[in-house]
Amino acid sequence: MGYKLTRIQSKALKRKFVRLPWKIYRDYPHWVPPLLILERQRISPKHNPFLKYGKIALFGVLDERGDLAGRIAAILNSEHNRIHKNKEGFFGLFECIEELEVAKLLIDAVYRELRSWGLTDLIGPVNFTTNDESGLLLEGFHEPPSFMTNYCPPYYHGFFEKMGFLKWEDLIAYQWKKGHLFPKRFEAVVERTSRNSNLNIRKFRKESFEEDLSSIQRMYNQSFQEVKGFVPLNKDEANEMGKGFKLFADYDIILMGEYKSEAVGFCLTLPDMNSILPELKGRLLPFGFLKLKRRLRKASRVRLIVLAVLPGFRNLGIVLLLIRQVVKEAMEKGYQTGELSVVMESNVKMKRLIESLGFQQTKAYRIYIQKKLQYENTAHQT
């Protein structure tokens, strides 16, 4: 079958671009359809704050019938390159039928675009920053993905390995279940730590929404400066995150850690919207919004997305108090399971802590990298 690469620019092609996953995953029962309105807004400069400082180019591959067989986004993250002092480019939103030829056409298009932007190495998938969904699912295909995490067919990894891509970083997801028992020694440490009158764990204050959201942005940006590939959240991105809070947050499981009344850590946990999205079939309108709000009260899973403590306060045990309290709150509210995701494989200290608490690894994701010279030598050999 003949395939043709095309740049995605028209409204008709953008509709095909956004809807392609429904074709790719029709035989994958664990895939969760995203909300179409959010997928459209993701590629819209009007709605996505990333596109105020970053740049994307969308590509697709058409088959002989004019149907889309694959899609990809070339990504320039100018903040990433400024902070990390490199010329790395990214790819994201990758979806493809089981044809290596199609995958090669997509990656070729991205590499040409990156070169025109003066970039060299290629990293991905990242949608569009490492603060968004990143990596291809490596382990855990037998379970549905949590909200804001990726799912993919297993054959995607074969594509990138055959094109000479290498591992850049693996990301790990851990799970706990209702009734989880922490080790006795952990409970003893938490008990001692909680006697420190300078420490306090409280819930996110809905009545002081802007203030607490600003504190989360500040702590997030200060806590992850040394993390591989990290790019800080700017004000617009934090505000966009805040809109999501207002839509479906459970404020009882968003926790703030304080030292002498100053916010120095937080635990961002949200109901796992993916547990109810399948019945919406990607549509929020006209009645999906009401159904979403009603069903969120019955969500059975939560996802602990970010756990952060400012560097100068990490030896006080605040992270232990946050973990213990969020699990307790989730259990008391009737959530059956929780996922802590994702933790970088290179973050050995955090991995050891989580595993010592009895949390079980359930999923892994891989972000790939392709060096320019490697790509030019290997991309067309298979």
How many Å apart are CA 49 and CA 270, to the nearest integer?
A: 22
How many Å apart are CA 146 and CA 184, to the nearest integer?
A: 29
Q: What is the dihedral of CA 11, 14, 18, 19, to 10 degrees?
A: 70
Across the chain, mean pLDDT equals 92
Residue 260 scores a pLDDT above 80:
yes
User: Which tens digit of pLDDT belongs to each residue from 321-380?
Assistant: 999 999 999 999 999 999 999 999 999 999 999 999 999 999 999 999 998 745 555 554
User: Which tens digit of pLDDT belongs to each residue from 151-169?
Assistant: 999 999 999 999 999 999 9
Residue 219 scores a pLDDT above 70:
yes
Q: Quick one: what percent of the chain has pLDDT higher than 70?
A: 92
- Provide the token pair at 276: 């109810």
How many Å apart are CA 317 and CA 325, to the nearest integer?
A: 13
User: Which pLDDT belongs to residue 31?
Assistant: 95
User: Which pLDDT belongs to residue 382?
Assistant: 45
User: Which tens digit of pLDDT belongs to each residue from 320-335?
Assistant: 999 999 999 999 999 9
User: Which pLDDT belongs to residue 379?
Assistant: 52
Q: What is the dihedral of CA 128, 132, 138, 139, to 10 degrees?
A: -170
How far, rounded to the nearest angstrom, does the alpha carbon of residue 273 sit from its chain's CA centroid? Answer: 14
User: Which pLDDT belongs to residue 274?
Assistant: 85
The model's pTM = 0.93
3-state secondary structure of 117: coil
Residue 300, φ and ψ in degrees, nearest 5: -95, -15
